[in-house]
Copies of this chain bind each other. A is one copy, B any other.
Amino acid sequence: MKAGGSVMAGATMTPAPAVGTNGARPWDGFSHDMAEVERILREESCSGVSLAEEVCRYVHEAGGKRLRPALVILSCRALGSDSPEPWYAGAAVEMIHAATLLHDDVVDHAQSRRGRVTVSARWGDGPAVIAGNLLFSRAFGMLARRERVEELRVLSNCMMTMCRGEIMQNVHRGNLEMTEATYTNVIRAKTADFLAACCRIGAMLAGADSRTMERMAAYGMNLGLAFQVTDDLLDVCGDEREIGKPVGGDLREGKMTLPLILGLQSATPAEREQVRAIARQPAITPEEFERVRGVLLRYHAPERTRRVAEAYTQASLDQLDPLPESPARAALAALAESLSTRSK
C-alpha cells in the first residue's frame, strides 16, 4: 500500500496503515477529513433543547467505526476530488445510521450497545424514538441546505430499502425454509444497499460519470454483502472473547444466517428436523447450539460461507481496478480485504 497516484489538496497524505495494527483503520490516513465529519456531527448536535442535545451527544460520542462516512470520503477522494461536500454527506449518513440504531434498540428492548447503556434503557423509549427522528430530519435538512438534492434522493431511497429489508427480516424470522436467494435479498436491503449508497454519494460529489458511479456503488454493495456474510460466520465460528458476545445469538433470535441455510440445504430430513426442533425453542442451551453446529460442520457450511464472503470481497476489489493509484484507493482496497479476514 503506497501513497502515490493522483491525490488532491483537501485530503491528508498519510497512507492508510496496514490492517489489523492495534485498532488501526484503513481510513486512518484521512484524519483531516474524518475530523471534519466529527466537527459537523458535534455542531449538529446542538438543538437548543438540553435533553435532545444530551441524547445526541451521547449517541455521537459512543463512536463506532464511522465506516459509512469513511466510504463517502474515500470514494470521493479516490476519484480525485478535494471538495468539502463529503464531510457533510459523511455526517449525514452517520446520523442516519445512528438513528436506525436508536430505533433498533427500542424495538429490540436492547439494554446495551457498544459497551454502553442504550438511550432507550437510559432515557426511555420516547426520547430514543424522538432522538432518532431528530437525526433523520437533521440529516435530510443538512443535505437540503447544501442543495444536494440528488444525494438526498439516493439517501431517502436507501432508507426506504433498509426499512423494507428490516420488515422482510421480521417476516422471515424463524423461517428455516428461507432460501439463499431470499437471504441475499434481505442482507442486500438491510446492510449492503446503505454502503453502496455511501460510495455512490462519494462518487456523485466527485462529479463522476454514471459508469464510475455504478462501479463505486457496486464496490460498496459487494463490500456490504461480504461484511454481512462474515458476520454470520462469526456467529457460528467466532471466538467469543474476540467478538465480545456469545456465539449462536442469531439462532437464538430466529435470524436466518448463511451457514444455517447452506447446512440445512445438505442435511438429511432427520437432521433438519433436529435443527428445527432446537430452533423452535424459546431458549437454546450451549449443548443444543453445539448440536446445530455439528450439523453445519458436517456439511462444511462454514467453509462454504467463507467462500461466498471471499467471492463478494473479490467482486468489490475488482471494481477498484480502473481507478488510478492513490491513498484513497489503497484504503478502499485495504478495507475490503480487512473485512473477509476479520475475526471480530
Which residues of chain A from 89 to 114 have any CB-CB distance to chain B below 8 Å in the complex?
100, 103, 106-107
Cβ contact within 8 Å between B160 and A47: yes
Any chain B CB within 8 A of the CB of A307? no
Cβ contact within 8 Å between B163 and A130: yes
Q: Which one of A147-155, A240-248, A256-264 is at the B interface?
A: A147-155
19 example contacts (A-B, Cβ-Cβ < 8 A) are as follows A49-B168, A49-B171, A51-B167, A51-B170, A51-B171, A52-B164, A107-B129, A130-B163, A130-B167, A133-B159, A134-B160, A134-B163, A136-B136, A137-B160, A138-B156, A141-B156, A141-B160, A144-B150, A147-B149
Least distance between A21 CB and chain B CB atoms (Å): 37
By a CB distance below 8 angstroms, the chain B residues around A170 are: 51, 126-127, 130
Copies in the complex: 2
Cβ contact within 8 Å between A47 and B149: no
Cβ contact within 8 Å between B163 and A141: no
A-B residue pairs, 10 tightest by C-beta: A141-B156, A137-B159, A134-B163, A144-B153, A107-B126, A144-B152, A137-B156, A49-B164, A140-B156, A137-B160
Cβ contact within 8 Å between B106 and A129: yes
Determine the distance from Cα of A159 to Cα of B144 in the docked complex, in whole angstroms: 14
Determine the distance from Cα of A138 to Cα of B153 in the docked complex, in whole angstroms: 10
Any chain B CB within 8 A of the CB of A157? yes
The residue that A157 contacts in the complex, of B52, B141, B159, with Cβ under 8 A, is: B141
